[in-house]
Amino acid sequence: MSNRKQSSTEKNKAKIPGKTERSQFPIVGIGASAGGLEALELFFENMPENNGMAFIVIQHLDPNYIGMMPELLQRITPMKVFQASDNLHVQPNCVYVIPPNKSLSILRGTLHLFEPVESRGLRLPIDIFFRSMADDMQDNSIGIILSGMGSDGTLGLKAIKEKNGIVLVQSPVTAKFNGMPTSAIEAVIADVVAPVEELPAKLIALLKFSPAVKTDPDLDSKVLSNLDKIIILLREQSGHDFSLYKKHTLFRRIERRKGAHQIDKIHTYVRYLQETPKEVEILFKDLLIGVTSFFRDTAVWETLREKALPELIRELPYGYVLRAWVIACSTGEEAYSLAIVFKEVLEKVQNHNNLTLQIFATDLDTDSIEIARKGVYASNIIADVSPDRLSRFFTPEAEGFRVNTIIREMVVFAPQNVIKDPPFTRLDILTCRNLLIYMEPELQGRLMTLFNYSLNQGGILVLGNAETMVNNHEGFEELDSWNKIFKRTVTSREPGLIDFPSAFYPKKTTATKEKIMPTAIEGIRTLADQLLLQRFAPASVLVNDKGDILYMTGLIGKYLELVAGEANWNIHAMAREGFRNDLPGALRKAMQNFDPVIVRNIKIGTNEGTRFVDVTVQRIENPGSLRGMVMVVFTDVPALVEQDAVNPKTGKRRLGGKQKEWENKFQRCNEDLQSTREEMQASEEELKSTNEELQSTNEELQSTNEELTTSKEEMQSMNEELRRCFSTRS
């Protein structure tokens, strides 16, 4: 332990420039669970003593555990380590550790202890503290996730990210237990992902290069010019226009990304974006924020359930299908929450006239839409979903909870840009929460006019209490002023169709199309690697998403063959008999995520007869230059026994090779069928969404046609009047 320690003199040199001079010093929340002690020791060993920060350590502890964490950490760090107590004011250069059997929150820099609601079972102390810190510290909040099992801390990091705070995560490959780090990385765009011993230095550098962003910074012409350049780069690669988003919001997000790369000048960051398309993609996702949770802002859902929805459905005819549109649905929690609340309202209304609800949920982020369609969420949703709702509307699974089919079938998810794509119309409910606050007033006004156009007379518009707009309410009556819930009363008087910005360029694909051949260095290591690949490594093929072969290793001719005619280096064309039928389904399934897909006991015909082989197909995640490519690995297995045999011990007949082979084929067919069904379901949802958009466009064209017909009639009438006047004068 002592070998890894830095000397006190060395640590004192690594102070954070300018940070301790701020009126409010940084407070860092650190969440850890299983394997967390080792990670915490490494973290504080590498953290300088006079760093100007306060650290709050939140761990999962047994209620009856006698806390010794302060003593253990005090041996590692020269900073003072305390066990947190109620009403304790946080000081810089100190470490505070949560006591056993307590929940911890913070208000105006003071710690407060609570008795946990759950006596046993799943507790979420990290989420509780991170959310509290995000509310209290706003964009000064800093959250770190270290080794641990489960997903505690993920919801808290989302809250920190929403407030434009800083998020650091231990690299999952270095964590003793990677559950919490992996869950965090999948949920938010972390500012830093690194081994735990590197996190202190990266945090110091991040704070050094990310000066506090003022609430209303003065953006000079040069900064605005560079902001416009970044908007252009985003538009070119993503196809989405951020020109009417609030400049200060964009600036704060860009400042965080600059700090993550230790870039001090915005024009240098523009250059970095030009050279690094991956950073453009990360910035795009960071700007989308994507923060959501089940039944977010409880008061909004209570108003909908107790007042707005009962009044809406009271006079509807028998069998009426209500239509709802959830804008910026992110990973789907908001849409499913609306479906659950609607079900609860129907149960309370005695004569509900067999009403049903169809929800269209849309978002810019296609990755979030894919997560929403699966309807599977981590166990930490118990912080937002009551036990009664969990038992009625969710099914427990190994990964957490899955939304029940009855709720899932009420929602259609689709990627859509509300600013430029045709809207859904004839709506009874429209929710657009925590989106307008990021837009300029001009765009807010356009969207409010669009919402008025999309809603039926008496339809409900839900904006939520986070919205700050005070104008543009024409055509709406307030039902709840605090939660910004409105009822559509009259059609907006704004004439003409709304001219929204559009995507000028299709989204670029950053995956490389050419194989990258590293320069060979003749040496023992290179020769040994070549020998291993040639004699001992299994035969494998690297292909792109279309199946074009980029690289091959091993004796690949046993599994692939050249076909007559024009040379075709595509694995689908070159696959030998037996493998050709199973290949498309395996590749399609592998492209859905980065998990390996294994097809076992495939019988392949060759020039020498037949052989049995296991085929592993996996989409490559790292390194970045090969991301999105697919590796196909062939492993020979012993041939299945062709004749049935009798087990001498039991006397039962064992399955012969032929029957096993047919059973394997039958199982693969079932898996392919299930995969095809899921893809058809996703395609059906997208077609439904497209159909709605086309119907909306058709309605607009019909309306325009009616206006033109009316104008034509008026012109004819005016022409007749002119003729009569002319004849009278004659």
Q: Which carries the bigger pLDDT value, residue 652 or residue 663?
A: 663
Name the one residue in this structure whose structure tokens are 């940084």. Answer: 26
Q: Which residues contact 52 (CB under 8 A, 6 or more apart)?
A: 15, 16, 19, 20, 25, 26, 92, 93
Strands, sheet with 394-397, edge to edge from the N-terminal-most edge strand: 376-377, 400-403, 394-397
Where do runs of H (alpha helix) occur along 394-478? 405-408, 441-454
| Contact between 185 and 169 (Cβ < 8 Å) | yes
pLDDT band per the 50, 70, 90 thresholds, residue 66: low
Say whether 85 is catalytic: no
For the ranges 47-51, 114-118, 509-513, which has the lowest average pLDDT? 509-513
**Count of Cβ atoms closer than 10 Å to residue 281 Cβ:** 17
- CA atoms of 372 and 331, how far apart (whole Å): 5
Distance of alpha carbon 168 from alpha carbon 21, whole angstroms:
23
The pTM assigned to this predicted structure is 0.63
At a CB cut-off of 8 Å and minimum separation 6, what does 62 contact? 100
pLDDT digits (tens, 9 = 90+) for 357-377: 999 999 888 888 888 888 888
Give the integer Cα–Cα distance in Å for 553 and 561.
14
**Euclidean distance between CA atoms 340 and 362, whole angstroms:** 18
| Contacts by 560-564, CB closer than 8 A, 24 or more apart | none
Mean pLDDT calculated for residue range 499-519: 43
* DSSP-derived pairing of the beta strands 400-403 and 427-431: unpaired
Distance CA 598, CA 586 (A): 8
pLDDT reported for residue 523? 55
How many CB atoms sit inside 10 A of residue 282's CB?
Answer: 16
> Which domains, ranges and CATH numbers included, belong to the chain?
2-209 (3.40.50.180), 221-288 (1.10.155), 298-488 (3.40.50.150), 524-641 (3.30.450.20)
Is the dihedral angle over the CA atoms 438, 440, 441, 445 positive or is it negative? negative
Q: Is the dihedral of CA 410, 414, 416, 422 positive or negative?
A: negative
Q: Per the structure block, which two tokens stand in for 534?
A: 């040639």
The lowest-confidence range among 277-286, 371-380, 446-455, 521-530 is 521-530
pLDDT at 152: 84
Tell me what pLDDT residue 552 has.
82
Q: Whole-angstrom Cα distance, residue 544 to residue 561? A: 18
Confidence category of residue 389, pLDDT binned at 50, 70, 90: very high
Q: Which of 141-145, 232-236, 385-389 has the lowest average pLDDT? A: 232-236
What average pLDDT does the segment 410-430 reach? 87
With cut-offs at 50, 70 and 90, classify the pLDDT of residue 341.
very high
Is the backbone of residue 567 left (phi > 0), alpha (psi -120 to 50) or beta?
A: beta
Helix, strand, coil % in the chain, rounded to nearest 5:
40, 20, 40
Provide the Cα torsion 598, 601, 606, 609; round to 10°: 170
Residue 511: its pLDDT value, please? 41
Among residues 33, 132, 141, 183, the one annotated as catalytic is 33
Per-residue pLDDT tens over the stretch 596-646: 888 887 878 766 667 788 888 888 877 777 888 888 888 888 775 544 445
- Alpha helix ranges (H) inside 46-94: 69-74
CA–CA gap between residue 128 and residue 137 (Å, rounded): 14
At which residue do the structure tokens 């009822």 appear? 487
Is it the case that residue 44 has pLDDT exceeding 60?
yes
Q: How many CB atoms within 10 Å of residue 209? A: 17
Residue 355: is its pLDDT beyond 50? Answer: yes
- 219 falls in which pLDDT band (50, 70, 90)? low
User: Which alpha helices (DSSP H) does 35-96 contain, by range?
Assistant: 36-45, 69-74
CA distance 258 to 558: 51
pLDDT at 15: 44
Strand intervals (E) in 5-145: 27-32, 54-59, 80-83, 88-89, 94-97, 103-107, 110-114, 141-145
**CB-based burial, 412-437: b 16+ in 10 Å, e otherwise:** bbbbbbbbebbbbbebbbbbbbbbbe
Count of positions (residues) in the chain = 730
Of 152, 242, 146, the C-alpha closest to 195 is 146
Measured distance CA(412)–CA(292) in Å, rounded: 18
Residue 302 token pair? 């209570």
Assess whether pLDDT exceeds 60 at residue 117.
Answer: yes
Q: Is 152 labeled as catalytic in the residue annotation?
A: yes
| 538, pLDDT greater than 90 | no
**Angle, CA 196 vertex, CA 268 and CA 161 arms, to 5°:** 55
* Percent residues over pLDDT 70 in the chain: 79
Q: Which residues pair with 575 in a beta bridge?
A: 560
Catalytically annotated residue among 127, 139, 152, 365? 152
Ranges 155-169, 374-388, 434-448, 497-511: which has the least confidence: 497-511
Q: 621-624, long-range: CB within 8 Å, 24+ apart, which pairs?
A: 621/594, 624/278
CA distance 601 to 638: 9
Amino acid letter, residue 656: G
Has 60 been annotated as catalytic? yes
Residue 433 CA to residue 442 CA, distance in Å, equals: 18
Which pLDDT score is estimated for 428? 92
Q: For residues 443 and 436, what is the distance between their CA atoms, to the nearest angstrom?
A: 8
**Do residues 26 and 136 lie in contact, with contact meaning Cβ atoms separated by under 8 Å?**
no
- CA pair distance 413, 415, nearest whole angstrom: 7
Is residue 415 within 8 A of residue 362, CB to CB? The reply is: yes
Give the type of residue at 329. Answer: C
pLDDT at 634: 86
